[in-house]
């Protein structure tokens, strides 16, 4: 009887842990949602200040941010439209898929 109670307790704890783990997973925002979150003044474009406020996986310098901003600003308007932002994200994904290196086995 004690083994049965213990087994039921273990199963319940495992089930609770699984439910809790699923609740804490956050879905990554879509690129359009990221753009909307960065566009703090809601004018439909990102200026360098708004663009530089984004948090990345690694620290970047102001120079790096300005260089990236300039590359994304393909029409040289001084701001990044949502279309430019989305296009840059697609280009990044393509670059990550095939970097020309072969895997060693």
Return the domain boundaries, the chain.
Answer: 31-96
Look at residue 13 and give its three-state secondary structure: helix
Q: What is the pLDDT of residue 76?
A: 96
Beta carbons within 8 Å of 78's beta carbon, 6+ residues apart: 47
Nearest CA to 71 out of 89, 54, 53 is that of 89
Q: Which CATH class is domain 31-96?
A: mainly alpha
pTM (2 decimals)?
A: 0.62
Whether residue 93 has pLDDT greater than 90: no
pLDDT tens digits for range 10-45: 776 777 777 766 555 678 899 999 999 999 999 999
Distance CA 20, CA 72 (A): 39
């Amino acid at each position: 009887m004690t083994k049965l109670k213990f087994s039921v307790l273990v199963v319940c704890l495992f089930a609770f842990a699984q439910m809790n783990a699923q609740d804490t997973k956050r879905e990554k925002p879509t690129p359009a949602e990221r753009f909307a979150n960065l566009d703090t003044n809601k004018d439909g474009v990102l200026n360098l200040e708004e663009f530089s406020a984004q948090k990345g996986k690694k620290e970047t310098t102001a120079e790096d941010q300005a260089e990236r901003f300039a590359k994304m600003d393909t029409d040289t308007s001084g701001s990044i439209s949502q279309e430019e932002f989305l296009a840059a994200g697609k280009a990044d994904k393509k670059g990550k898929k095939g970097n020309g290196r072969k895997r060693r086995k």
